[in-house]
């Protein structure tokens, strides 16, 4: 499985933007980049995914580097409810069924 690397933890102030980085230097051309988050005591929750182009949805934006070796999840205005562990996951074309979770980034949002 291609590996991802994320910072263990990040802090943000409420209502400020947050940029959560992920490195995936061994990504293959057909791997999709997915982001999930896990709020305390809950199951993982889908956030966003992309292949090459930047993506936006109601929850967040995903910025993908041109060489695809890194990506950044952007929360435009962090709220207290966004405090969670954020996982960057590569979904491989041939093993598309499973998600391989790493340690993720624990985001703390300060009021």
Partner 1 sequence: EPEVTQTPSHQVTQMGQEVILRCVPISNHLYFYWYRQILGQKVEFLVSFYNNEISEKSEIFDDQFSVERPDGSNFTLKIRSTKLEDSAMYFCASSDLGGSTDTQYFGPGTRLTVL
Question: Which residue in the set 25, 45, 54, 56 belongs to the binding site for partner 1 (CB under 8 A)?
Answer: 45
Centre a 10 Å sphere on the Cβ of residue 103 and count the other Cβ atoms it contains: 12
Strand, helix or coil for residue 51? coil
- Of the residues 11, 15, 16, 103, which one makes contact with partner 1 according to CB under 8 A: 103
Report, in Å, the least distance between residue 91 CB and partner 1. 4
Does position 99 interact with partner 1 (CB under 8 A)? The reply is: yes
- By the rule CB under 8 A, 3 interacts with partner 1: no
Q: Which two tokens stand for residue 49?
A: 């995914």
Q: Furthest-apart CA pair in the chain: how many Å?
A: 43
Q: Are 57 and 46 within 8 A, CB to CB?
A: no
Question: Residue 111's closest CA among 92, 86, 83, 89?
Answer: 83
Min. distance of Cβ 16 from partner 1 in angstroms? 28
**Contact range with partner 1 by CB under 8 A, out of 8-16, 17-25, 76-84, 89-97:** 89-97
Q: Where along the sequence are the contacts to partner 1 (CB under 8 A)?
A: 30-32, 38, 42-46, 49, 51, 87, 91-93, 95-103
């Amino acid at each position: 499985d291609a590996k991802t690397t994320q910072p263990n933890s990040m802090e943000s102030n409420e209502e400020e933007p947050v940029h959560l980085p992920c490195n995936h230097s061994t990504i293959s051309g057909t791997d999709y980049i997915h982001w999930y988050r896990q709020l305390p005591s809950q199951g993982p929750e889908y956030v966003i995914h992309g292949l090459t182009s930047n993506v936006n949805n109601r929850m967040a934006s995903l910025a993908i580097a041109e060489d695809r070796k890194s990506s950044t999840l952007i929360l435009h205005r962090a709220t207290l409810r966004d405090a969670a562990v954020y996982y960057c996951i590569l979904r491989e074309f041939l093993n598309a069924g499973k998600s391989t979770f790493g340690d993720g980034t624990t985001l703390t949002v300060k009021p």
